[in-house]
């Protein structure tokens, strides 16, 4: 009994003396642990934002180098279309599968692989000895970009488990992309004017190395994302989607030089239709489809996807046309071309900041109706443009058009997310982004076809048709929003997501 009593006394002594010391040590270490966690989260945000920045830079920066590329490789408008669209095509086609790959292998792993591929491909673009080599390197860039964007968001989800902190992090991520989109033409103009067109690709090398370093040091190494653990790779669907988009892009680009009656153009269109039909058949029967077709039974989701394609068709199609107009027809330098686009690109970022606050007051319907009509008005006011006209007359229409588009982009995201169940938000936002990229790719292909002749009279005729087409499509989007979104749904969306 005495022995047991001694043991109890010893246990009480150790609990009263050692335990407080351990607790004090743990409390002393907590600020350091919180500091380390905070630093890792901020480092992850920096890596994700840099990845988004390089993706959007290479969407916009190439446009100011079009004339330099035309002269360097002695190519035509169709060749320039492929330099732009090879990147966008692969980016759009592989966006959904790249997100699913990150779910399976880990967002950090796929993000870093995409960053490494994008950086190496940028070196390939900068060193390309021929137009064909440049287009192949742009394809590799598009693959890297597809791996970067969805997995950068997955890394942010893991790094910021608190919803409020995650919302702020995604806001900074989006702001970085907006800055890149606005600064891209100006940065490209400076680089092309002082260091040649190859520099717009080689500048990605130090940026890529920085992004890889930050993601390696700070991003979480989780094996799978908890958001979509059951997503798989739909290889047959992916193959048919790529084939359909590639064949359509080829047919639209080749029609300018070969004519619509050429067998290769006919063949491309037929192959695109057959591949698209096969894609729909595969997706409707697949147990784990790349694109769940059931989403399109939701009217507002379908409307958001169609409208996203329309606004990117108009925006990127006319950016391509005006790039050629400024450089080839008005003989502006790359730097002057970049500065000429500044009113159009800078307002995208400025207006986007305020749209989230307006969503709770006006709702999706009101914002989309305003954005479609305002952008259509801006493009309609650009229709009288002429080679001899003063640039000052273009500033107000550019501001009107781009502010209308900036109003719609975050609104469409809100409409998409409010249309689906919480478990489907990842795939739904991916479909919206893919639809927008496809719209931009088709805009460059179709508008490039219209301005395929560089002779002033022929070019201006095609340019006026491209502007009219963009305005008409935006008005068609206005009609779709008018009949497709009820005022009751709009009010519900405004109350549900006022801060998005």
Residue 492 has pLDDT above 80, yes or no: no
Two structure tokens written together for 439: 């719209």
pLDDT single digits (tens) 196-238: 999 999 999 999 999 999 988 877 765 444 444 455 677 888 8
Write the secondary structure of 305-325 as one string of H (helix), E (strand) and C (coil): HHHHHHHHHHHHHHHHHHHHH
pLDDT of amino acid 473 = 96
Domain 45-222 and domain 295-500 have a common topology: yes
Residue 494 has pLDDT above 80, yes or no: no
pLDDT of amino acid 461 = 92
pLDDT band (50, 70, 90) for residue 326:
very high
pLDDT of amino acid 252 = 86
Lowest mean pLDDT, pick from 97-111, 273-287, 378-392, 457-471? 97-111
Residue scoring higher pLDDT (230 or 179): 179
Q: How far is CA 163 from CA 158, 177, 226, 352, in A?
A: 11, 21, 15, 21
pLDDT band (50, 70, 90) for residue 439:
very high
pLDDT of amino acid 390 = 86
- Sketch the domain layout of the chain as residue ranges: 45-222, 234-289, 295-500
Q: Residues 45-222: name the CATH superfamily.
A: MFS general substrate transporter like domains (1.20.1250.20)
Residue scoring higher pLDDT (231 or 144): 144
- Report long-range pairs for 164-171 (Cβ below 8 Å, ≥24 apart): 165/41, 167/499, 169/41, 169/45
Mean pLDDT of the 36-45 span: 76
pLDDT single digits (tens) 232-266: 677 888 899 989 999 998 888 888 778 888 899 98
Average pLDDT over the chain reads 82
Question: Do the Cβ atoms of 112 and 215 come closer than 8 Å?
Answer: yes
Cβ burial of 292 (10 Å; 0-12, 13-18, 19+) is middle
Identify the CATH number of the domain defined by range 295-500. 1.20.1250.20
Two structure tokens written together for 97: 């599968």
**Phi-psi domain of 363 (left: phi exceeds 0; alpha: psi -120 through 50; beta: other):** left
Radius of gyration of the chain (CA): 26
Range list of H helices, 77-160: 77-105, 107-126, 131-159
Mean pLDDT of the 453-459 span: 87
Q: What percent of the chain has pLDDT over 90?
A: 35
pLDDT single digits (tens) 273-288: 999 999 999 988 887 7
- Phi and psi at residue 298, to the nearest 5°: -85, 115
């Amino acid at each position: 009994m005495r022995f047991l009593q001694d043991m109890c006394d010893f246990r009480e002594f150790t609990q009263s003396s050692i335990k407080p010391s351990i607790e004090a040590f743990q409390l002393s270490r907590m600020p350091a642990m919180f500091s380390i966690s905070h630093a890792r989260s901020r480092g992850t945000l920096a890596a994700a934002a840099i990845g988004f920045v390089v993706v959007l830079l290479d969407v916009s920066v190439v446009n100011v180098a079009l004339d330099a590329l035309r002269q360097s490789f002695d190519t035509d408008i169709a060749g320039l279309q492929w330099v732009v669209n090879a990147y966008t095509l692969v980016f759009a086609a592989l966006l959904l599968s790249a997100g699913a790959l990150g779910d399976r292998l880990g967002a950090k792993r796929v993000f870093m692989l995409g960053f490494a591929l994008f950086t190496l491909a940028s070196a390939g673009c900068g060193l390309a000895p021929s137009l064909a080599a440049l287009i192949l390197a742009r394809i590799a860039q598009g693959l890297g970009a597809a791996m970067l964007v969805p997995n950068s968001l997955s890394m942010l989800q893991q790094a910021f488990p608190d919803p409020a902190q995650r919302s702020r992090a995604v806001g900074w991520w989006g702001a970085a992309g907006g800055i890149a989109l606005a600064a891209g033409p100006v940065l490209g103009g400076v680089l092309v004017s002082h260091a040649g067109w190859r520099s717009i690709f080689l500048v990605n090398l130090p940026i890529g190395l920085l992004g890889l370093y930050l993601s390696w040091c700070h991003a979480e190494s989780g094996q799978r994302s908890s958001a979509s653990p059951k997503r798989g790779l739909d290889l047959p669907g992916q193959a048919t989607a790529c084939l359909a988009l590639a064949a359509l892009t080829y047919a639209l680009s080749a029609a300018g030089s070969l004519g619509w009656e050429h067998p290769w153009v006919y063949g491309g269109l037929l192959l695109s239709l057959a591949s698209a039909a096969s894609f729909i058949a595969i997706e409707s029967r697949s147990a784990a489809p790349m694109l769940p077709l059931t989403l399109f039974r939701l009217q507002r989701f379908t409307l958001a996807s169609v409208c996203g394609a329309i606004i990117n068709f108009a925006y990127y199609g006319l950016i391509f046309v005006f790039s050629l107009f400024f450089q080839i027809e008005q003989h502006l330098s790359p730097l002057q071309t970049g500065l000429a686009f500044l009113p159009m690109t800078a307002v995208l970022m400025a207006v986007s900041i305020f749209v989230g606050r307006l969503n709770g007051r006006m709702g999706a319907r009101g914002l989309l109706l305003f954005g479609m009509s305002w952008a259509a008005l801006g493009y309609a006011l650009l229709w009288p443009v002429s080679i001899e006209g003063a640039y000052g007359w273009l500033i107000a229409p550019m501001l009107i058009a781009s502010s209308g588009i900036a109003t719609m982009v975050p609104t469409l995201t809100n409409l998409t997310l409010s249309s689906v169940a919480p478990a489907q938000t990842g795939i739904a936002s991916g479909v919206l982004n893919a639809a927008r990229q496809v719209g931009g790719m088709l805009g460059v292909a179709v508008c490039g076809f219209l301005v395929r002749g560089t002779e002033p009279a022929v070019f201006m005729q095609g340019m006026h048709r491209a502007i009219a087409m963009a305005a008409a499509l935006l008005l068609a989007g206005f009609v779709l929003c008018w009949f497709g979104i009820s005022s009751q749904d709009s009010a519900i969306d405004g109350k549900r997501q006022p801060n998005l």
